[in-house]
Amino acid sequence: MTTPPYDVSPTTGRTERVAPRSAVVAAHLVPLVVLPSGVWRVLLGCGVSMGFNRATLEAEGFPGRGTVMVVGLTLLTEALALLTLGLVRPWGETFPRWLPLVGGRRVPATPVVALATTGGLALTAMWTFALRNALLNDGLDEISSGAWHAVAVACYLPALAWGPLLLHVTWLYHRRRAASARRERVPARL
């Protein structure tokens, strides 16, 4: 059974175009691809050596003040990754009714697409550069062994997909919203 291309929005009563399956899958993958790096950071923050010597951990404040920083960074990263779901869910097209002033109104597509595209390009560049440095062992030279270095690279490697996945979902969001806007401008024939 295939999903119909249109669905009636419960908030607006308008017929909305359903997000393509590839967009839904990609949007759900985003929080998962950043999760391993978050787990690695939280373990490091909790004082698990992750290949670093005890003196390096203490100098960085692990466990302690450094823990607050890496847990906060991990929560922020996951929250930003979860925002990708808005590109395939109704709340990414229509503000929830409970929001003051904008509740029930359409989310303007242009700023969403511009912000998501900028974010996707920035993430692609950032993670490509970070992975390049990790593979060249730049910045990870305090790690004691090749095995721990491999664990660090393996935990951060999936995050390289964040930018391209976000760009894919953004492109499909843009196409869906543009088609929806064209349909609203064309008068219905009787």
pLDDT, tens digit, 9 for 90 and up, residues 50-71: 888 888 888 888 888 889 999 9
Average pLDDT of the residues in 12-21: 69
More confident residue, 178 or 188: 178
Quick check: 177 and 109 in contact, CB under 8 A?
Answer: yes
Amino acid letter, residue 115: L
Give exposure, 58-93, as e/b (b: 16+ Cβ within 10 Å).
eebebeeebbeebeeebeebeebbebbbbbbebebb
Average pLDDT of the residues in 35-64: 89
Looking at residue 3, its pLDDT comes to 47
Q: Give me the residue spans of the domains in the chain.
A: 20-84+106-178
More confident residue, 22 or 188: 22
pLDDT one-digit tens code per residue, 133-185: 877 766 666 777 778 888 988 999 999 999 999 999 999 999 999 887 777 66
